[in-house]
Amino acid sequence: MTIRSAMVLAAGLGTRMRPITERIPKPLVEVDGKPLIAYGLEALGSAGLDTIVVNVHYLADKLEAWLSDSGYAVTIADERAELLDSGGGIVNALAELGSEPFVVINADTFWLEDPQATAENITRLIEIWNPAEMDIALMTARPDQATGFDGKGDFVADDSGRLQRYRGEGDPLIYAGALVIDPAIFGTGRPAKFSLNACFNEAIERRRLHGMPMAGLWLTVGTPEAIGEAEAAMHAYRSGNAP
Protein backbone atom coordinates (compact mmCIF):
# COMPACT_ATOMS: atom_id res chain seq x y z
CA MET A 1 0.00 0.00 0.00
CA THR A 2 1.05 3.61 -0.48
CA ILE A 3 1.93 5.54 2.68
CA ARG A 4 2.25 9.29 2.22
CA SER A 5 1.86 10.76 5.72
CA ALA A 6 4.24 11.03 8.65
CA MET A 7 4.54 12.56 12.09
CA VAL A 8 7.67 13.85 13.77
CA LEU A 9 7.55 13.71 17.56
CA ALA A 10 9.32 16.94 18.53
CA ALA A 11 7.56 18.21 21.65
CA GLY A 12 9.83 16.80 24.37
CA LEU A 13 11.57 18.89 27.02
CA GLY A 14 15.13 17.69 26.38
CA THR A 15 16.05 17.98 30.07
CA ARG A 16 19.16 15.77 29.81
CA MET A 17 20.52 18.08 27.10
CA ARG A 18 20.70 21.09 29.41
CA PRO A 19 22.23 23.69 29.40
CA ILE A 20 21.95 23.66 25.59
CA THR A 21 18.17 23.19 25.76
CA GLU A 22 17.75 26.16 28.04
CA ARG A 23 17.88 28.29 24.88
CA ILE A 24 16.76 25.98 22.05
CA PRO A 25 14.45 22.94 21.85
CA LYS A 26 16.26 19.61 21.58
CA PRO A 27 15.26 18.98 17.92
CA LEU A 28 17.33 22.05 16.99
CA VAL A 29 20.49 20.84 18.75
CA GLU A 30 23.13 20.50 16.06
CA VAL A 31 25.13 17.35 15.43
CA ASP A 32 27.78 17.54 12.73
CA GLY A 33 26.50 20.95 11.67
CA LYS A 34 22.84 19.99 11.26
CA PRO A 35 19.85 20.15 13.65
CA LEU A 36 18.67 16.75 14.83
CA ILE A 37 15.23 17.20 13.30
CA ALA A 38 16.72 17.90 9.87
CA TYR A 39 18.04 14.34 9.61
CA GLY A 40 14.55 12.94 10.09
CA LEU A 41 12.89 15.39 7.73
CA GLU A 42 15.42 14.52 5.03
CA ALA A 43 14.70 10.81 5.49
CA LEU A 44 10.94 11.38 5.21
CA GLY A 45 11.32 13.53 2.14
CA SER A 46 13.59 10.99 0.47
CA ALA A 47 10.89 8.34 1.02
CA GLY A 48 8.33 10.49 -0.79
CA LEU A 49 6.21 11.34 2.25
CA ASP A 50 4.45 14.60 1.47
CA THR A 51 2.12 15.13 4.46
CA ILE A 52 4.30 15.76 7.49
CA VAL A 53 3.04 16.82 10.93
CA VAL A 54 5.38 18.06 13.67
CA ASN A 55 4.18 18.49 17.24
CA VAL A 56 5.56 21.33 19.35
CA HIS A 57 5.53 22.22 23.04
CA TYR A 58 8.80 23.33 24.64
CA LEU A 59 10.21 26.55 23.11
CA ALA A 60 7.63 26.01 20.39
CA ASP A 61 8.09 29.44 18.79
CA LYS A 62 11.75 28.72 18.05
CA LEU A 63 11.01 25.33 16.51
CA GLU A 64 8.15 26.74 14.44
CA ALA A 65 10.37 29.56 13.18
CA TRP A 66 13.07 27.10 12.11
CA LEU A 67 10.52 24.87 10.37
CA SER A 68 9.04 27.89 8.57
CA ASP A 69 12.48 28.80 7.20
CA SER A 70 13.61 25.23 6.50
CA GLY A 71 11.87 24.75 3.17
CA TYR A 72 9.95 21.71 4.43
CA ALA A 73 6.17 21.81 4.07
CA VAL A 74 4.92 20.74 7.49
CA THR A 75 1.76 21.11 9.56
CA ILE A 76 2.14 22.02 13.23
CA ALA A 77 0.32 20.07 15.92
CA ASP A 78 0.26 22.53 18.82
CA GLU A 79 0.79 21.15 22.33
CA ARG A 80 1.75 24.43 23.98
CA ALA A 81 -1.06 24.10 26.51
CA GLU A 82 -0.15 20.57 27.60
CA LEU A 83 2.49 18.02 26.66
CA LEU A 84 0.57 14.91 25.63
CA ASP A 85 3.34 12.26 25.55
CA SER A 86 4.04 10.20 22.43
CA GLY A 87 0.70 8.44 22.06
CA GLY A 88 -1.44 11.41 23.02
CA GLY A 89 0.55 13.63 20.69
CA ILE A 90 -0.21 11.37 17.73
CA VAL A 91 -3.91 11.14 18.57
CA ASN A 92 -4.01 14.94 18.81
CA ALA A 93 -2.71 15.09 15.21
CA LEU A 94 -4.94 12.43 13.63
CA ALA A 95 -7.11 15.00 11.88
CA GLU A 96 -4.06 15.99 9.81
CA LEU A 97 -2.58 12.49 9.48
CA GLY A 98 -5.73 10.77 8.31
CA SER A 99 -7.20 7.32 8.91
CA GLU A 100 -4.70 5.28 6.87
CA PRO A 101 -1.38 3.93 8.24
CA PHE A 102 1.41 6.49 8.52
CA VAL A 103 5.05 6.81 9.57
CA VAL A 104 6.15 8.20 12.95
CA ILE A 105 9.72 9.22 13.77
CA ASN A 106 11.42 10.72 16.80
CA ALA A 107 12.96 14.14 16.26
CA ASP A 108 15.93 13.47 18.55
CA THR A 109 17.29 10.20 17.16
CA PHE A 110 18.61 9.68 13.66
CA TRP A 111 20.64 7.37 11.48
CA LEU A 112 23.10 7.24 8.62
CA GLU A 113 22.06 5.09 5.69
CA ASP A 114 24.08 2.10 4.51
CA PRO A 115 25.27 3.04 1.01
CA GLN A 116 25.24 -0.65 0.07
CA ALA A 117 21.58 -1.18 1.00
CA THR A 118 19.00 -1.77 -1.72
CA ALA A 119 16.82 1.09 -0.41
CA GLU A 120 16.81 3.65 2.39
CA ASN A 121 15.41 2.64 5.75
CA ILE A 122 12.08 4.49 5.70
CA THR A 123 11.36 3.12 2.22
CA ARG A 124 12.17 -0.40 3.42
CA LEU A 125 9.98 0.07 6.50
CA ILE A 126 7.05 1.08 4.30
CA GLU A 127 7.70 -1.83 1.94
CA ILE A 128 7.52 -4.47 4.68
CA TRP A 129 4.27 -3.05 6.08
CA ASN A 130 1.53 -5.68 5.90
CA PRO A 131 -1.81 -4.58 7.38
CA ALA A 132 -3.06 -8.17 7.40
CA GLU A 133 -0.41 -9.08 9.97
CA MET A 134 0.65 -5.84 11.64
CA ASP A 135 -0.70 -3.08 13.84
CA ILE A 136 2.76 -1.53 14.17
CA ALA A 137 6.06 -2.11 12.37
CA LEU A 138 9.15 -0.79 14.14
CA MET A 139 12.57 -0.06 12.72
CA THR A 140 15.08 -1.86 14.93
CA ALA A 141 18.83 -1.68 15.38
CA ARG A 142 21.31 -4.13 16.87
CA PRO A 143 23.40 -2.74 19.73
CA ASP A 144 26.52 -2.94 17.53
CA GLN A 145 24.81 -0.58 15.04
CA ALA A 146 24.11 2.04 17.68
CA THR A 147 25.97 5.00 19.16
CA GLY A 148 24.80 6.70 22.35
CA PHE A 149 22.45 3.94 23.52
CA ASP A 150 23.04 2.88 27.12
CA GLY A 151 20.11 0.53 27.69
CA LYS A 152 19.96 -3.26 27.66
CA GLY A 153 17.69 -3.49 24.63
CA ASP A 154 13.99 -3.16 23.95
CA PHE A 155 12.77 -6.18 21.96
CA VAL A 156 13.63 -9.60 20.61
CA ALA A 157 12.39 -10.92 17.26
CA ASP A 158 11.31 -14.38 16.19
CA ASP A 159 12.11 -15.86 12.78
CA SER A 160 9.15 -14.07 11.19
CA GLY A 161 10.13 -10.66 12.58
CA ARG A 162 7.42 -10.61 15.24
CA LEU A 163 8.58 -8.73 18.35
CA GLN A 164 8.39 -9.38 22.07
CA ARG A 165 9.80 -7.34 24.93
CA TYR A 166 13.42 -8.14 25.74
CA ARG A 167 13.61 -9.89 29.11
CA GLY A 168 17.28 -10.80 29.19
CA GLU A 169 17.10 -13.75 26.79
CA GLY A 170 17.80 -13.78 23.06
CA ASP A 171 19.50 -11.13 20.95
CA PRO A 172 18.37 -7.66 22.09
CA LEU A 173 17.12 -5.11 19.58
CA ILE A 174 16.76 -1.36 20.00
CA TYR A 175 13.67 0.53 18.88
CA ALA A 176 15.35 2.86 16.41
CA GLY A 177 12.89 5.75 16.51
CA ALA A 178 10.83 5.07 13.37
CA LEU A 179 7.65 3.09 12.83
CA VAL A 180 4.58 2.56 10.68
CA ILE A 181 1.31 2.41 12.61
CA ASP A 182 -2.32 1.74 11.81
CA PRO A 183 -4.26 4.50 13.62
CA ALA A 184 -7.10 2.04 14.24
CA ILE A 185 -5.03 0.78 17.19
CA PHE A 186 -5.82 3.98 19.08
CA GLY A 187 -9.54 3.20 19.12
CA THR A 188 -11.58 5.39 21.42
CA GLY A 189 -11.54 6.21 25.11
CA ARG A 190 -7.81 6.82 25.45
CA PRO A 191 -6.67 9.41 27.99
CA ALA A 192 -5.47 12.69 26.52
CA LYS A 193 -1.92 11.91 27.64
CA PHE A 194 -0.41 8.44 27.14
CA SER A 195 2.72 6.73 25.86
CA LEU A 196 3.08 4.78 22.63
CA ASN A 197 4.45 1.98 24.79
CA ALA A 198 0.85 1.13 25.67
CA CYS A 199 0.17 0.52 21.97
CA PHE A 200 3.35 -1.55 21.63
CA ASN A 201 2.18 -3.78 24.47
CA GLU A 202 -1.29 -4.17 22.95
CA ALA A 203 0.19 -5.09 19.57
CA ILE A 204 2.45 -7.66 21.27
CA GLU A 205 -0.56 -9.24 22.96
CA ARG A 206 -2.25 -9.56 19.55
CA ARG A 207 1.02 -10.84 17.99
CA ARG A 208 0.88 -7.87 15.60
CA LEU A 209 4.07 -5.98 16.50
CA HIS A 210 6.78 -6.58 13.89
CA GLY A 211 10.30 -5.31 13.37
CA MET A 212 12.34 -4.24 10.36
CA PRO A 213 16.12 -4.45 10.87
CA MET A 214 17.67 -1.17 9.81
CA ALA A 215 20.76 -0.87 7.64
CA GLY A 216 23.36 1.67 8.64
CA LEU A 217 24.37 3.47 11.84
CA TRP A 218 21.78 4.56 14.41
CA LEU A 219 22.54 7.43 16.77
CA THR A 220 20.93 8.89 19.85
CA VAL A 221 22.28 12.03 21.48
CA GLY A 222 20.97 12.40 25.00
CA THR A 223 23.48 14.75 26.63
CA PRO A 224 25.80 17.56 25.54
CA GLU A 225 28.76 15.23 26.03
CA ALA A 226 27.23 12.72 23.60
CA ILE A 227 27.38 15.18 20.70
CA GLY A 228 31.11 14.70 20.20
CA GLU A 229 30.79 10.93 20.49
CA ALA A 230 28.10 10.92 17.81
CA GLU A 231 30.12 13.14 15.49
CA ALA A 232 33.19 10.94 15.84
CA ALA A 233 31.12 7.83 15.08
CA MET A 234 29.56 9.52 12.05
CA HIS A 235 32.93 10.53 10.61
CA ALA A 236 34.32 7.02 11.19
CA TYR A 237 31.28 5.44 9.54
CA ARG A 238 31.46 7.69 6.51
CA SER A 239 35.15 6.98 6.09
CA GLY A 240 34.62 3.24 6.32
CA ASN A 241 36.43 2.91 9.65
CA ALA A 242 33.45 2.06 11.81
CA PRO A 243 33.45 -1.34 13.54
Look up the domain containing 216 and give its range. Answer: 5-238
- pLDDT at residue 26 in the model: 95
In our burial notation (b when 16+ CB lie closer than 10 A, e otherwise), range 90-129 reads bbbbeebbeeebbbbbbbbbbbbbeeeeeebbbebbbeeb
Flag whether 109 is in a domain. yes
Is residue 152 over pLDDT 80? yes
Q: Count of domains in the chain?
A: 1
Flag whether 100 is in a domain. yes
pLDDT tens for each residue of 26-54: 999 999 999 999 999 999 999 999 899 99
Whole-angstrom Cα distance, residue 6 to residue 192? Answer: 20
Give me the CATH number covering residue 59. 3.90.550.10
At residue 151 the predicted structure's pLDDT band, cuts being 50, 70 and 90, is confident
Mean pLDDT of 216-236: 93
DSSP string, 24-57: S-GGG-EETTEEHHHHHHHHHHHTT--EEEEEE-
Flag whether 186 is in a domain. yes
Is residue 243 over pLDDT 80? no
